[in-house]
Chain A
Amino acid sequence: MAKTLFEKVWDQHVVSKNDDGSVLLYIDRQLVHEVTSPQAFEGLRIAKRKPWRVNASVATPDHNVPTTNREQGITDPVSRTQVEALDANCEEFGITEFGLGDIRQGVVHVMGPEQGLILPGMTVVCGDSHTSTHGAFAAIAMGIGTSEVEHVLATQCLIQKQPKTMRIRVEGDLPAGITGKDVALYIIGEIGTAGGTGYAVEFAGSAIRMLSMEARMTLCNMTIEAGARCGMVAVDDMTIDYVKGRPFAPKADAWDRAVTAWSELHSDADAVFDKELLFKAENIAPQLSWGTSPEMVLPITASVPNPEDARDDVQKEGWIRALTYMGLEAGTALQDISIDKAFIGSCTNGRIEDFREAAEMVKGKTVAANVKLAMAVPGSGLVKQQAEAEGIDEIFRQAGFEWRDPGCSMCLAMNADRLEPEERCASTSNRNFEGRQGLGGRTHLVSPAMAAAAAIAGHFVDIRDWV
């Protein structure tokens, strides 16, 4: 019977089926970070349990780590305790960890693919919703809570109900300057933050095939903002080329065998999806979120919407509340919105391609006087090293950006990097929720090039005018 990509990978991981339709699903890889794991390790200790398969998990601290003055250690004692707890837990249970001093340390979803820890056809989990990133490798990759982190550590399995399948095709050529981030925000704007709830999404179509692995990771990363259980892209040559030679990727004969198996990781031609959506690539302009939910997003050429135009009272209330929080008035052109800070980084846009694209915008220019802080935060030590080898750090520094050490940083502001009340930020991160980047902070989600250009201009601009 014809199968979707999701069904192929799912079926390969079903250990047993329960009477109520749920299954015991085998998990190949678990990524671990300091915030959602301490209570899971504590649970193992209390129950006197050991990890089922210790080499299936790999850890790195990211949410809480400082991005400056690392040699001084973590000054916040509460953050330090949590990072030290991860070190101690990994030591006690024998789990591989790339700690703070390791060049491989970084945002868990940047580190994983970079190390070849994510392979096509895997099931991948992490106590972090943006685990969906790894669907770019035709993996089933899902964010889970801490109880399930403990469950996977103890059993290498999860009890899961099979989600429905949705295929989102984007056909045609993406216009110049349009990135994976713009595609992601555009789709969320079209289907809403609950548009994917209950579904496993496969992204397909000629525009998706043309996206780099980095851009596919950005797209799958944002699938969770549409509420989907996971997002996936079929394997092609680009996938294989990306994985080849990475430290944890299979070698020699095992590699050849794996590549043969991976060539099956696409939906069969006559596979049936529960839902199908089609978008035209040519319709996608640079995107900018204006409100406090990722679905509150518009093309850069638009203006702040009027709540009177909302589809119903619930949405109208949401828009009014968002405009008040964001300090915006209906009708203001998005390009007239000025910013106080710019943040380039995160699991969404902290990879080398993102910094290359942003550097193109800032090269030879200077951050605008009204911008108090422009930060470039590489997603991992290795991304940082690569960017420095290409001179990208110098381009940012000369323009007035701060070039930081790797971590989640101002995406969620658990460390010292945050917005002050009413500060407005052009951010390459994934969430514009109230308070996400700091109490009272105002987040506008954009691509790296759009954030960089906004930092230079002091307000949002249409980067298509810049290239």
Chain B
Amino acid sequence: MQAFTTLNGLVAPMDRANVDTDAIIPKQFLKSIKRTGYGPFLFDEWRYEDHGEPEMDCTNRPKRGDFILNQARYQGAQILLARENFGCGSSREHAPWAIVDYGFSCVIAPSFADIFYNNCFKNGILPIVLDDAQMDTLFDACAATEGFSLSIDLPAQTVSLPSGQVLSFEVDDFRKHCLLNGLDDIGLTLQNADIIRNYEATRIQTAPWLF
């Protein structure tokens, strides 16, 4: 997994609540058996005027002019601003795969759906929770300034605005540790193999029907 430490990147705003993972990556792209290649289909139904299919060449597909990521000023964005309950619905990890494949590595929102939030950390994406007032500040600043960018510092747990304003955010120690070091948490868990075996040896005595 790609490590995340600091990032200074262009910001794009997604100003709507309850963005679901069906919208982030529609179902037809879930037929792939790979982890990569989803970026061109991120937000496919909102982004293009035609119907997208897996493996399609998206270079010449007609784009919806009113969709935020199609605007010239947001090309190359690495940080996505979002509203409440971002990533709700389906557990599909194809959603963070599409987000990271597109080029985003940080999503900032007032709240995330649990499964999506968890999936982000497995894919080198930092999901940051800020309060509604802070989000409004970021959305306003982003709309007002072309080329608006933010500096994210995961070790310090801060988001810095060009104005000099610095916002702090919370993140679990373990998730932070894994993200900072790009760690494969299966390998970490397997370091505890003996503890897992001991648990099983005890559990099989009290609840043998589970084995």
* Residue in contact with A433 in the complex, picked from B23, B92, B208, CB distance below 8 Å: B23
How many residues from A make CB contacts under 8 Å with B?
79
Asked if A26 meets B186 with Cβ closer than 8 Å, knowing A36-B91, A36-B92, A143-B115, the reply is no
Question: B90 — which chain A residues lie within 8 A by C-beta?
Answer: 128-129, 412, 431
**Cα A250 to Cα B211 with chains together (Å):** 10
**Chain B: minimal CB distance from A201 (Å):** 12
Of B30-38, B68-76, B151-159, the stretch lying at the interface with chain A is B30-38
Question: Contact between A159 and B189 (Cβ–Cβ < 8 Å)?
Answer: yes
A436 touches B119 (CB 8 A): no
A7 within 8 A of B: no
Whole-angstrom distance between the alpha carbons of A294 and B123 in the complex? 28
User: In chain A, residues 426-458, which have Cβ atoms closer than 8 Å to a Cβ of chain B?
Assistant: 431, 433-436, 439
Chain A residue contacts of B210, Cβ below 8 A: 28, 119, 122
Kindly state the separation between the CA atoms of A19 and B200 in the bound complex, as whole angstroms.
22
Contact B33–A229 (Cβ < 8 Å): no
Q: What's the least CB distance linking B206 to chain A, in Å?
A: 8
Q: Identify which of A26, A194, A293, A414 contacts B203 (C-beta below 8 A).
A: A26
Q: Is the CB of B196 within 8 A of A26?
A: yes
Q: Which residue of B lies closest to A38 (CB)?
A: B33
Taking CB atoms and an 8 Å cut-off, the chain A residues in 61-100 that contact chain B are: 63-64, 76, 78-79, 81-82, 85
Asked whether any CB of chain A lies closer than 8 Å to the CB of B3, the reply is no
Q: How many A-B residue pairs have CB under 8 A?
A: 184
Contacts of B157-211 to chain A: CB distance below 8 A = 172-174, 184-186, 189-190, 192-193, 195-196, 199-200, 203, 206-211
Task: Confirm or deny: A47 has a beta carbon within 8 angstroms of a beta carbon on chain B.
Answer: yes
Chain B residues with Cβ below 8 Å from A78 are 31-32, 54-55
| Beta-carbon nearest neighbor of B210 in chain A | A28
Q: Provide the bound-state CA to CA distance between A156 and B199, in Å.
A: 11
Bound CA–CA A227/B85 (angstroms): 8
In-complex Cβ contact of B114 among A24, A47, A122, A229 (8 A): A229
A436 to B211, CA, bound (A): 38
B50 to chain A: closest residue by CB: A439
Interface size on B (CB < 8 Å)?
Answer: 58
CB neighbours of B113 from chain A (8 A): 194, 197, 227
* Contact status A439-B199, CB under 8 Å: no
A343 to B166 Cα, complex, angstroms: 51
* Chain A CB within 8 A of B18 CB: yes
Q: Mark A4-30, 1 if CB is under 8 A from B, else 0.
A: 000000001001101111101010100
State A140–B172 Cα separation when bound (angstroms): 22
**A416-B186 Cα distance, complex, nearest whole Å:** 37
Residue B122, interface by CB 8 Å: yes
Q: Which of A38, A159, A317, A321 contacts B185 (CB 8 A)?
A: A159
CA distance A131 to B20 in the complex (A): 18
B130 CB–A CB distance under 8 Å: no
B91, A159: Cβ atoms closer than 8 Å: no
Contact A157 B189 (CB under 8 A): yes
- Other-chain residue from B31, B174, B196, B203 in contact with A159 (beta carbon distance below 8 A): B174
Interface presence of B141 (CB below 8 A): no
Q: Is there a chain B Cβ closer than 8 Å to A39's Cβ?
A: yes
What are 19 A-B contacts defined by CB distance under 8 Å?
A: A16-B195, A20-B174, A22-B172, A26-B203, A36-B92, A47-B184, A47-B186, A63-B30, A81-B31, A119-B210, A129-B89, A144-B91, A145-B122, A227-B114, A314-B16, A314-B83, A317-B16, A412-B90, A439-B26
Contacts beyond the supplied A318-B16, A435-B45: 6 A-B pairs with Cβ under 8 Å: A55-B211, A78-B55, A145-B122, A155-B189, A197-B85, A229-B114
